Chains A and B, each alone.
Chain A
């Protein structure tokens, strides 16, 4: 007989091994799935994981990893702070949209003036947009005790409507023949979040993501606020006794995650995406939740997890095109990753016991 037994202490080994095991299990069962679809499993897995990094055209895909991974990491770092303290901001997608709208609107307000001040202003506006949007659920929570999960999630849909309205109205390109979508910021040098070294994929959003990782690491390891976050998540009662102010913590965690999501949106709209359109958001805010957990809510872990998610997206598209795998199979593959992560996570706190239950 097999049974689960709670570990007296969470296993350090499993806490780190879980993501690796999850990736291996995903590769194995994903391979089975691809084989069932009539594709060679080894080739499929290699196409997804190997091609973007070391394939013939890696010189193109490696920079793309940065472009795809940066917003994920930036958002996930912000989310992880709240998640650690048990504050659940599920609406990063909405904050990402608002950051993009604020940032783009600021830039477009100056069009066609050229000035080196425009881009920094856009960064501030983007951060503000995300911050304001995240403050709505935060303030409602501390003032009226509303559930931040529901409020932040619902605000995503409000933000989406706002985005559609902006693309069709205020921010619509006056030279766009009536089609929806703003001017392309890539063609407006002062507002363009260009690659710092052309062809490297390094734009300001990537820099911001790396700074956020370091900042979060220092905050959690060294700063009193980081201690407050950790202790609140691990032992809420103890936190209270040690003088943690829960109101301030909610405002900080929600605000910071909104701010970073807003920045991610702003860097995306000014750089890789270029314009505000109805379908500007592609789900980074939701995928970042997976990235945060895949990275064990640890800054370095999130950095790696963001890279891994980006890899499956880029490799997944290559596999679709080269091997004719359906998009749904790639999505199942990505879903497996989270599924196995949560499944193996059980072993951090529990262990398997074989044999008869002993009488205690």
Chain B
């Protein structure tokens, strides 16, 4: 009991002292907890680019710290606590698995602001943010449907969670729209980042006749596998992966966290930070579409860009009815669009996708 009081009061005092220090020196300290190495070329790489953009934007007014390859669970809780003890004013925790640790640590440091990526638990000092990657998937699906000659599109899934399932559905809907004969083959890699497993998955898909491979994993290994096969189209994931352009990589979905990180840090500096739930897409610029290369015919490129523009200005929603679920039941009526709640918890395929979601 005594020790707990000590910890709580010490933490509180340090938190306050940290805040006071920041105010006195006008330097805001921002911490980042990364799940992978900053050189992964995908997810963590882009978050780190956001961190660097933050430093560039604010210069001497901000100090950033980060720890990479932090395991989800107690290790992440310790790293967050350590950053808070070291006087961080704002901490971004950039993996879904950091959700409960973030909430735990935030409860101990009421004066430190926390931002958790892709989660759903919030508190007075915990905000959440995520990107509408499925908007980018719609454009990929469109290009994939047009580009495939074998009518088989391969898809490397990471984990069967709503975010990934949403992406598969969005890509499938838009591929099907332009190519009624298209078929999706899905492989679950059960990893976010494992070049060897991802390469194997890509090779299996290519052997099964896929001439377009989409990936929801973060390494460039599937790109390399496609390049080796010679006639397989790919898309960059999370990062541009431009080193594989113009072919096999014909476009990409890029996470651009920089504007959000800058905006939120500014809010902490101004004292206007509040706990929010942000889910931004192409419009606000959190999701960017990488350069569509010349390997894509000009008319397809034009259509894809038009689709992008209509999603960006809000005139088109990638999940617009009529749509049915895989089991044939109704999902969306004519002209109806999916609400965010349905999208956030999506755990079913749309009609036409074969195979089951593993569970």
Contact = CB atoms under 8 A, between A and B. Distances in A.
Interface in A255-302: 268, 272-275, 277-280, 282
Contacts of B70: 317
Interface stretch (A102-110, A127-135, A171-179, A234-242): A171-179
Given A199-B6, A317-B82, A282 B67 contact: no
A279 B72 contact: yes
Nearest to B35: A279
Given A172-B359, A178-B161, A317 B75 contact: yes
A184 B81 CA distance: 19
B345 to A, nearest CB: 5
Nearest to B83: A321
Interface of B: 1, 3-4, 6-7, 10-11, 14, 31, 37-38, 65-75, 77-79, 81-83, 85-86, 96-97, 100, 104, 120, 159-162, 190, 344-347, 358-359
Contact of B85 (A57, A268, A277): A57
Contact of B82 (A178, A321, A324): A321
Interface string A310-339: 000110011011101011100000000000
Interface stretch (A17-25, A59-67, A117-125, A209-217): A59-67
A59 B83 CA distance: 15
Nearest to B32: A321
B1 A197 contact: yes
A178 B37 contact: no
A162 B130 CA distance: 29
25 contacts: A57-B14, A57-B82, A60-B7, A68-B78, A177-B344, A177-B345, A181-B97, A197-B4, A198-B1, A198-B4, A199-B7, A273-B73, A273-B74, A274-B73, A277-B97, A278-B159, A278-B190, A280-B73, A282-B71, A313-B75, A317-B70, A317-B75, A321-B82, A327-B67, A327-B69
B35 to A, nearest CB: 9
A164 interface: yes
A57 to B, nearest CB: 5
Contacts of B14: 57
Q: Which of B14, B85, B162 has the most CB of A within 10 A?
A: B85
B74 A272 contact: yes
Given A168-B358, A317-B70, 7 more contacts: A272-B74, A279-B71, A282-B73, A321-B79, A321-B86, A326-B38, A327-B69
Nearest to B103: A184
Interface residues of A, number: 46
Nearest to A51: B82
A161 B197 CA distance: 14
A15 interface: no
Contacts of B68: 320, 326-327
A273 B97 CA distance: 11
Contacts of A112: none
A60 B3 contact: no
5 closest A-B pairs (Cβ-Cβ)?
A: A198-B4, A272-B74, A199-B3, A282-B71, A199-B7
Contacts of B347: 178
B99 to A, nearest CB: 8
B110 to A, nearest CB: 17
Interface in A166-222: 168-169, 172, 177-181, 184, 186, 197-200
Nearest to A277: B97
Contacts of B86: 57, 321-322
A162 B284 CA distance: 40
B4 A327 contact: no
Contacts of A179: 96, 120, 161-162
Contacts of A326: 37-38, 68
Given A317-B79, A321-B79, A322-B86, A178 B73 contact: no
B31 A321 contact: yes
Contacts of B11: 60
A57 B14 CA distance: 10
Nearest to B71: A282
A200 B6 CA distance: 11
Contacts of A68: 74-75, 78
B146 to A, nearest CB: 31
Contacts of A328: 37
B350 to A, nearest CB: 16
B73 A164 contact: no
